[in-house]
Every structure is written in C-alpha cells, then in structure tokens.
Chains A and B, each alone.
Chain A
Amino acid sequence: MNKQVAIIGAGIAGLEAASILDSMGFKVTLVEKAEHTGGHIQNWHQLFPDRRNATEVAQGIISKPLANVSTEFNREVTSIQPFAEKFIISAKDGWVFNADAVLITTGFELFDAKRKEEYGYGIYDHVITSAELETLFKKENGVTLRIGRTPSRIGLVHCVGSRDEKIGNIFCSKVCCVTAVKQAIELKELYPECEIYCLYMDLRMSGRHYEELYKQAQEEYSIQFIRGRLSEAAEDKSGKIIVKVEDTLLGRPLKMTMDMLVLMTGMVASAQTASICSSAGIQKDSDGFFKASDPHLYGNITGIPGIFLAGTCSGPKTISDTLSDARSAALAVQSYLSAEANN
C-alpha cells in the first residue's frame, strides 16, 4: 500500500499534516519553495494572545517526528495535473513528481504595503510593516536603532490591505487587530514614555482571550485607540511622520506627528494560488484564496478528488486554526486514500 502524498508548502500547516500522515503510514513528500521549513512563523517574535515565544511554537511543530517524510527545498510548484488517478506536480526548475494525493498548504503572502502609496511605505524611512516590527523585536532594541533615537509617539495603522475595496481586498485578515494590540503592548514595554496610538476601523477581538488583551492594553498600558481610517501620511523635514486621520467618534479631522508608523499588513492569496488553480482546475474564490467544495462540511476538500487544502491558502487563519485545519486535512487525505485502496 504505502501511498504517496505530496504536500505543497512546508509552513506550519504542511508540517503538521505531514507528521500526522506520516504516523498513519503514508509516504509523504513536502515540497517547499524556500530553503527552510516553517514559513512566516520563523519571522515572528511573540504570538497573540498570550505572548508565547514564536520560535518555541515553531520548534514544537518542526521537531515532531517525520519518519517517512522527505522534503524538497527550493521547489516552487507551478502546476498540479491529474493523470491516471495520480497527480503530476511540476516545479519552476523543471522538477517533476508523482503522487496519489496532494495536500495544498501554500499559505498566504503579506499584502504589499507599497500599494497603499498614501501611507508612504517604501517612501518614508519611518513607515514600516507589522512584519518588520516583529523582526525588529527579535533583535534587541531594534526599534531604537531604526529611528536612531527613543521614539516618543508611534502609530499602528489597522487594516492595511484588508477590508479595502479600493485595493480590491474586501475581506478581513482576521489576525491584524489582535496583532496590533499585542505589538502596541510590546512597544509600550520597550518605551514606557512613548505614546502609542492604534488607528482602527473597528476592533475584531473575536478569539479567546483577545478581549482581555485589549482591555489590558487600555487599562494597564494606556494605549490610545482612535476610530478612524488613516487618510494619508507625510514626512516633515526632521523625518517625522505626519498623519491625517478622521476621528469618527468625535467627527473631527486630526493631524498627528509620529516618530514611527507601523502598518498592519493583511494576508493575501499567494501568487502560487492562481497558477495552481488554473493548472489543476481548482476553483478560486472571489477573495483570491482557494475555494473548498463545501466550506461548511468539507473545508479541506477541493472540487478535484485527491487534491486537498489546509491552512491559510483557503483564507486567513490564526496559528491554532491553521494547525487544526491541517489535522483535519490529514484525516480527509487518509479517508480518500483508504477508500481508493479498497476499490
């Protein structure tokens, strides 16, 4: 028996599913476009809502036993084609592979903040993304180094590239609100004298313990929350960022000077999604992410029998949701392959 499963993408979803399918006795091959496993989590410092060390969680996933799992690095999959009850997987570099079932865990890409030109990312030195802030946190005193002095006012801008019709992304990325609250607290811990502002549309504190974190941010850390979308950012002669925003609770336009602006970039479907969708005949949803055949009952199953989905390739998810999704996908793959073996 020993059926072959190919998992496209060795982020946390791919790794989690690989370890489970491996323990079920399948031959698993992880196909990764980068030269290491783990994906985005490798760049993260602390995770919400409990501020757990991200490296620790990454290690927890990576260190799970993978007896019959082989990993192909630097292979960017461009197409998956069904052929005689098998699937032919081809990568950009010409590498070709056959598998009995395919699990797609290609994940997300961060929204390119340069597309919101009015926020000045890539134009002004002190406008950075939330992902860059995490990297700065990973190195000690990173923020100070970046600005060259202790910041006295920092703004965090929610919903950059999410819930933005003009940019073509109408969906919510789900994780940025709570990330902003977490990063605001971390910044305040680093610079107790610094004023921290969160500029939000509305706060979606939907997960367990998120609301507590938000409450803590207001009460213990005096983080200021201003309801209003940033309209534009400009740079003054000293390199400070002047932001224009309407406080929609007071109904008044505001102009504030910040030492640094952090853009909470959302998730978008990866570039691979489109090419895989068209090659394999899998449906893409209106938001660009993969579409499951039945989002309620069969969230891991695509319209093509034998091709499965897990993680953020089928829409924004938190880390814990991604891991649960990967486990359920592993079960779906198993049930497909054992039914096929019985026939």
Chain B
Amino acid sequence: MTFDLFVIPFFGGLIFLLVVLFIKYSRWIALIDRSGRRKIGYGLFSLQIFPATWEVFLESLLHRRMWKQNKLLGYMHMSFAFGWLLLILLGNLESRIYSGGHLNPPYYPIFLKFFVHDKRVLPFELNTLPGFFRFIMDFVLLYILSGLVLAFFKRIHSRWFGMKNTSRHNRFDQWAITCLWLIFPLRLLAESLTASIYGGGGFLTNSVGDTLAMILPAAVTPGMAYVAWWAYSSALGIFFITLPWSRYMHIPTEVVMIYLKHFGVKSGKHLNSFSEIEMRACPKCGVCIDVCQMKDAGAVGSTPAYFVRSLRMKEGNSLLNNNCMLCGRCKEVCPVQIDLLDLRIASRNLENQSIDKPFSYLPADVPDSKGINVLYFAGCMGHLTPSVKKAMVSIMDAANVKYKFLDQDGSVCCGRPLMMAGMFEAARSLMEKNRQAIHASGARILVTSCPICYKIFNEEYKLFGVEVLHHSQYLLRLVEAGSLWINHSGLSVVYHDPCELGRGSEVYKEPRKLLKRVAKLIPIEQERENALCCGGSIGDLALNQDQRNIIRDAALDVLLEPKPDFLVTACPLCKKTFSSAGTAKVIDIAELVAQQLEKADNLIEETVEESIL
C-alpha cells in the first residue's frame, strides 16, 4: 500500500498551489489585450520556444545573472533551483525502478524512502541502477543543503555575497522561507532515521542515520522517523500554500514571464496584466537595493524591490511612484530583467493624467528654414548651460556646417519630462509642435545637446528621414570626416555617463572615442552600465534638495577619486548638478572640443601677429 496519512499536507498543498496558479495565470493571460494574446498564440508554435526555454534554463535554473553578480550568490540560487529540480526528476526515475514504471501518485517519489526500503543496495554501490540513484539522490540533497548553509550565512552577513542590503520580509515571506529552510534538513532527518532502521540509505543518509542511531535509544527511532516524515510533508505543504502570496511566487512566474517576453508581450506605458506578471516575477532578492542611490538619500523604502512589492500588494502611493530618478541602474542588474522603469512610469500615469495648462502660449507658426542640412536643438537644459550651446555654435561655425539653431529663441520642451511623469497626453501635444518644426526644416540630421531630448527624439518621435544624434556622436562624426580639426589638450579627464545617454540610449562608445582625441581619459570604477546618477534627475518628482545633494556628493566622490583635471559629461543637467557642489571643475564634452579649436585659432593668430612684427 503506497499511502500514509502524512502525505496529505504535501499532497493537499500541491493541489492547492496548482489550482491557485492555474486560476491566477489564466486570469492574467485572459486580461492581456487582443494583440498580446495573438502574440502568445503565434509564439507557442514558433521557434521562439527554443530561445525562451534556453533562457528559462539559464536564468530560472542556473541563475546565470546571479552568478555574474556574485559567485556565492549564484551558487546558492542554483543549488536551490537546479538542485531541487534534479531531486524531483531523479527521484521520479528512481521510483520507477520500484513501481515497475507505472504511473505513481505524485507524492510517491517524494517520500520514496518511506515506502521502499531496498536493503540490497549498499551505500557506495554505483555499478547497479538502484545503487547509482541512491548515490546521486544523496549527492543532490547534499548539494542543496550546501546552498542552504550559504543562505543561512547570507542572512547573517550579506556582504560576503556582494550585497550590502537584503530585503525585509512580510508575513507570508516569513512563513514560506521558514518552511523552505526546513524542507531539506527534514528530508535528510526523515531519510536518515528510516535508513538507520531499515537500511537502504545512500552515503549521506546512511552515515547520518548511523550516527543518530548511536545517540538515540533504539526504541524511539521508528516514532521519530514517522514524526520527521510528517514534518517534512507539512513543511512542503505550508510552503506550497503560502507560495502564491510570498516572494517565492517568482519561481513559477519568472518562467511564464520569460516565455511571454519572447513572444513579444510587453507592459509598455500602462499597467496591464503583463505588469501583474512582472511584479510577481520579482524575487525581492535585493540586488537592486544595493545599486539604488535612493538609499544614499535615506529613501530605502522607494528602492525598486519595495516599490514592486507595494505595487503587487496594491499598497502603492504617490511618494513611491514619484521617488525614483529613473536612472536605470536597477534594470541593469535585475536578475529577472523586470522593466522597472516602465513599471514606475506606468504607475505614475495612474495619478498624473491631466494637466491644467493647455500650452496655448506655444508659438503657432512653424519656423521657415529651407536649405539646411542640420538642425541643432539645445533643449531646455542646454539653455540653462549657455556655455554648452555657445560651444556647439562655435564648433559648427568652425566646421562650416549649414545648420539652423532650432530653439535659439527658446525651446518647446521635447516632452520627455512629462513622459517620465506619466503625463503622456500632455507630452504628445509638445512633441507634435517639435515634430512639425523638425519636418518643416527639411533637415536630415537633428543634433541635440541634451540626452533627455535625445532619448525621446530617438525613441518616440518617429522622425522618418531624420537622423537623431547627440552632440557627442555628431562631433565625433565631424572629426572623423575631417571637417573639424582639434588638438589634444594633454588634460586628464574622467567621463561621466549621463543616465539618459548611457543606460537610457546605450551611447557609450562615441563620447569616449571623441574624448580620447582631446584628452587623456582615466577609467573609473563605476562607469558605462554601472555609472552613477548625478542626482539632478528630472525623473524624480519627490526628492528634496538636501537628498539630491547627498546623491550628487556621493557620485562625485567616485568620479573625482582619480583626481582628474576635469570632470567631463555630455549632459547639461549633469553638468549643472555637479557644478552646484562647487567642488569640481565640470565641463561638457562640447566645451572641451571647442576649447581645443580655440587653441588652434589662437596659434594661427599669434603666428600672424609675429610675422607682422
């Protein structure tokens, strides 16, 4: 008879979990819009299945991104995920040896050692099939237990795992994690005690069982073994029941999310049912908390892990929605690759939908400017740093570029700040104004000094026939084409990647290439994808000035560590923010290039004067 009452907690929990997951996933998938559902329909029968499955294997089981983050962290997650799966799969195969290959109740392989006592097999006997399984099952259990030991140390000292912070748990999390931690030690205890009575254990369970038998009176071991099997089953059962409301919901949900992403389903600008899936795919691992600069400003509660949790618990509030610089550092490291910026913007959209200013003051006429190749757009921030636009004008004059300074007499905002605030409709009315002016000019290239403008021109304007370039890209092009002559300054500089240009638009190469022509570029610890935000971000609608200053100063500590002659950036807002500290010489890449032009001019003038004398 392969049944005992103790299997009920496990079996009941499993059925409960499967029913809950089925209901939840079918509801979310049903709520995905028609085009999304169509994508799923096509995707299921497309080749996308293969890369998606491969990603599930790499990320959900092996935890490749976690490994990248930290080796111990990777090992710990892999031992739980991959180890547990192996235990289930191998246990299933092992059980077939004894059941004659028939279909078994799901609990049978899990509690196999309770039902089957194969005394014939010796602990280290590898040359028979049952012996092999006995060995490998103990080996996998040991593997998982090693991960558990790491998890225990991680709670005590997360720094060993490259993490300064771990997330706080809610009640469901606490129940689930307690059970999760108990599952494998209880399995070891139950199997070991059983092995000590009936024999038939592997190298691990047998030796643990023998040791226990030495300590315990023989009369109590059968009773204890039975209690251990009950406890093991109950731990599993409670874990399954609490799972859908705990952080461990990420285990099944991440798999669903990976497939949906590969099929092309996205959350986009509005919270939808795919966002619901994304929220639950977050394991609250806390990797994002570590990189989030909001905690420098004393706003740990606004870090992505807690933001996503409150969104999931429907406890979101205005402060949480708005207190984020949208710098994208979290998205870069998120092991689950959740689009944390889109989630934040979409939740802002729910509360900031209308605007009372109808932009009636905007100029109605489109400026006439035929016969030019290049449009220059300084942007609002460019106008707040006149040295940047002055530098651009002098460079384009020097290179004889036929250009028009589109917003010379004042900008119509590009719309990106409103987009970031979730005010999409208001943003679109501004975008339309700019789009008309850009198209009316007939220009083929649009150059902007502001990465904020660059991102939205590039991604949302859909300017057919117009190439959008940031000034760092355009200046490099002028230099490489031989239209611009610049000298090397001999200065040593550190380059700060602006969020919207770097992580936001993946422009890392061109500014560095250009800089190397005018100065000595010193590499720093946190750059490119890992660059820090300056703290001046217009993406945050809640930070006060003191908090911004803290973030700015912490970033400056990193940037100025190699003691460069200049801190170079490619964003007027970063320049303004860093300059306000009064501790560093900050310059825009365009200014540096313009200075090196100027020197060439001076040189010519001086020689002319000398020759006159």
Instruction: Report which A residues bind B (CB closer than 8 A).
Output: 115, 117-118, 120, 123-124, 165-168, 231-235, 242, 244, 252-253, 255
Contact = CB atoms under 8 A, between A and B. Distances in A.
B580 A242 contact: no
Given A166-B545, A168-B549, A255-B410, A124 B580 contact: no
Given A123-B390, A255-B410, A117 B582 contact: no
B598 to A, nearest CB: 14
B386 A124 contact: yes
A330 to B, nearest CB: 34
B580 A234 contact: no
Contact of A123 (B387, B545, B576, B582): B387
B479 interface: no
Contacts of B409: 242, 255
Range of interface residues on chain B? Answer: 10 to 19
Contacts of B361: 252-253
Chain A interface mostly: strand
Interface in B355-405: 361, 383-387, 390
A115 B386 contact: no
A244 B580 CA distance: 21
A253 B409 CA distance: 14
A120 B545 CA distance: 23
B595 interface: no
Nearest to A242: B409
Interface string B90-102: 0000000000000
B385 A117 contact: yes
B579 interface: yes
A118 B386 contact: yes
A273 to B, nearest CB: 14
Contact of B579 (A115, A232, A234, A253): A115
Given A117-B579, A165-B545, A167-B580, A232 B383 contact: yes
Interface string B579-608: 111100000000000000000000000000
A233 B385 CA distance: 10
A234 B385 CA distance: 10
Contacts of B576: 117-118
B580 A233 contact: no
Interface of B: 361, 383-387, 390, 408-410, 545, 549, 575-576, 579-582
B586 to A, nearest CB: 10
Most buried by A among B387, B408, B549, B580: B580
Contacts of B408: 234
B588 to A, nearest CB: 10
A234 B380 CA distance: 12
Contacts of A118: 383-386, 576
B384 A232 contact: yes
Contacts of A115: 579-580, 582
Contacts of A235: 386
Contacts of B575: 117
A109 to B, nearest CB: 12
A255 to B, nearest CB: 7
Chain B interface mostly: helix
14 contacts: A115-B580, A117-B384, A118-B576, A123-B386, A123-B390, A165-B545, A166-B580, A167-B580, A168-B582, A232-B384, A232-B386, A233-B386, A234-B386, A235-B386
B453 to A, nearest CB: 16
A231 B386 CA distance: 12
A234 B386 CA distance: 7
Contacts of A252: 361
Contacts of A255: 409-410
B411 to A, nearest CB: 10
Contacts of B384: 117-118, 231-232
Contact of B387 (A117, A231, A253): A117
A235 B383 CA distance: 11
Contacts of B410: 244, 255
Contacts of B579: 115, 117
Contacts of B582: 115, 168
Contacts of B386: 117-118, 120, 123-124, 232-235
Contacts of A244: 410
Contacts of A166: 545, 580
A75 B331 CA distance: 55
Which 4 A-B pairs have CB atoms at the shortest separation, nearest pair first?
Answer: A118-B384, A165-B545, A123-B386, A120-B386
A23 to B, nearest CB: 41
Given A117-B384, A120-B386, A167-B580, 15 more contacts: A117-B385, A117-B386, A117-B579, A118-B383, A118-B385, A118-B386, A118-B576, A123-B387, A165-B545, A234-B386, A234-B408, A242-B409, A244-B410, A253-B361, A255-B410
Nearest to B546: A165
Most buried by A among B386, B575, B581, B582: B386
A244 B410 CA distance: 9
B413 to A, nearest CB: 13
A255 B383 CA distance: 14
Most buried by B among A232, A242, A244, A255: A232
Most buried by B among A117, A123, A235: A117
Contacts of A123: 386-387, 390
A124 B390 CA distance: 10
B396 to A, nearest CB: 15
Contacts of B549: 168
A234 B383 CA distance: 8
Nearest to B548: A166
Nearest to B581: A168
Most buried by B among A123, A231, A252: A123
Nearest to A252: B361
A132 B386 CA distance: 21
A325 B18 CA distance: 80
Contacts of B383: 118, 232, 234
A231 B576 CA distance: 14
Contacts of B385: 117-118
